[in-house]
Amino acid sequence: MKRPLRALAAAGLLAAGAIVAVALGGTASADTQICEQYGSTTIGGKYVVQNNRWGTSAQQCINVTSTGFSITRQDGVGSTSGAPVSYPSIFVGCHYTNCSPGTNLPVQVKNISSAPASISYNYVSGAIYDAAYDIWLDPSPKKDGVNQMEIMIWLNRQGPIQPIGSPVGNASIAGRTWEVWRGSNGSNNVISYVAPSAIPSMSFDAMAFINDTKNRGAITSDWYLTSIQAGFEPWQGGVGLAVNSFSQSVNTGGTTPPPATTPPPGNAACSVKYTTNVWNNGFTADVTVTNTGSSTVNGWTLNYNLPSGQTITGSWNATVTQSGSAVTARNLSYNGTLAPGASTSFGYQATLSGGFSTPSSFSLNGSTCTKV
């Protein structure tokens, strides 16, 4: 969770070390220091660098260069079972009314053709932190306040910390495998993509992560991309952590995504295992689909009906839609092929009114499945 940038006092000298504190709206030259709690400045005529010390009253300072920043002081100490103490970062777009120069954000996802990104980090030892690339989205073109969806790309994780929520599977994006976590911090929903080992630099299209989040049913193409940020969430220590360079563009005028491919009917012998965790007014379901036939399934659609009083609110590892009681679950780009004997799983969360029961039958590509 990141707290708002605020209107700050004019720049001045701090008693300790005579460090220059840059207020909102400033422009940085090389080696500009920011120690103000929510201080920020612009670089390259395109990006905003922000201190954003939201989780502690202890001092934090960053050194802003012409291409990025480094943490020069970090006195805060956060519990590893709780939130980090800050999120010093560099960004494009709008964050709590602070918009980067000349930005074309917010812009609807359906109008974005690509979002080429490049990041280079400097890591240190002996600290507890994550290096996070943050993507913020909202149903409205929001320039102030909390957005409803946060995508976090963890390129490095040091210490006994974990993303918000719980793991829901893996994803292959930008030529790498990521562990996917999903949850909410109480203010916004979060999907995190966690690298299994530290990535010091990376060039990729941020739309690959946005599209995966969309395929999980967390957003739609009508939502707005509001900002993209790169920085660090320190819990303890972190002096020397740096964003050496950051490049992010958002190209518009893209094409409308093609319609979903309808798999061929029939020829799909299958079994379905339906596992649930139920509480008084809701439940989660884990659905495992197995190809029990002798031919490979290339693209699958699972159909079934939910009992009365059950309404799906979110899903993962499949595109799941509900119309009345009828549910349709379609594969994503990475799990559409099922060789004979192979399985894939997806899941969802739902609200519950009344007594609980499970679906009575399932069909895969038009063929009835065995319920196990």
The string of pLDDT tens digits covering residues 100-113 is 999 999 999 999 99
Supply 85's token pair: 């103490």
Per-residue pLDDT at 17 exceeds 60:
no
Tokens 């709690």 -> residue: 37
pLDDT reported for residue 200: 95
SS3 186: coil
**Percentage of the chain modeled with pLDDT above 70:** 88
Mean pLDDT for the stretch of residues 253-260: 46
Per-residue pLDDT at 1 exceeds 70:
no
pLDDT reported for residue 2: 53
User: Per-residue pLDDT tens for 67-84?
Assistant: 999 999 999 999 999 999
User: Per-residue pLDDT tens for 147-164?
Assistant: 999 999 999 999 999 999
pLDDT reported for residue 366: 81
Supply 233's token pair: 């969430």
pLDDT reported for residue 268: 55
The number of beta carbons lying within 10 Å of the beta carbon of residue 343 is 15
Closest C-alpha among 200, 227, 229 to residue 90: 229
Instruction: Please tell me which residue in 76, 233, 236, 335 is annotated as part of the active site.
Output: 233
The DSSP annotation for 139-195 comes to SS---SS--SEEEEEEEEEESS---SSEEEEEEEETTEEEEEEEEE-SSSEEEEEE-
DSSP one-letter code for 364: E
**What's phi and psi for 184, nearest 5 deg?**
-140, 145
Active site residue 150: yes
User: Distance (Å, rounded) from C-alpha 316 to C-alpha 259?
Assistant: 20
All residues at 6 or more sequence positions from 134 whose CB lies less than 8 Å from its CB, including other chains: 2, 87, 89, 91, 150, 151, 152, 153, 227, 228, 229, 230, 231
pLDDT reported for residue 270: 93
Instruction: Please tell me which residue in 76, 150, 158, 230 is annotated as part of the active site.
Output: 150
Mean pLDDT for the stretch of residues 252-267: 46
Per-residue pLDDT at 254 exceeds 70:
no
User: Distance (Å, rounded) from C-alpha 364 to C-alpha 275?
Assistant: 18
Average pLDDT across the chain, whole number? 87
User: Per-residue pLDDT tens for 292-339?
Assistant: 998 888 889 899 999 999 999 989 998 998 888 889 999 988 888 999
User: Per-residue pLDDT tens for 170-191?
Assistant: 999 998 999 999 999 888 999 9
Between 2 and 32, whose confidence is greater? Answer: 32
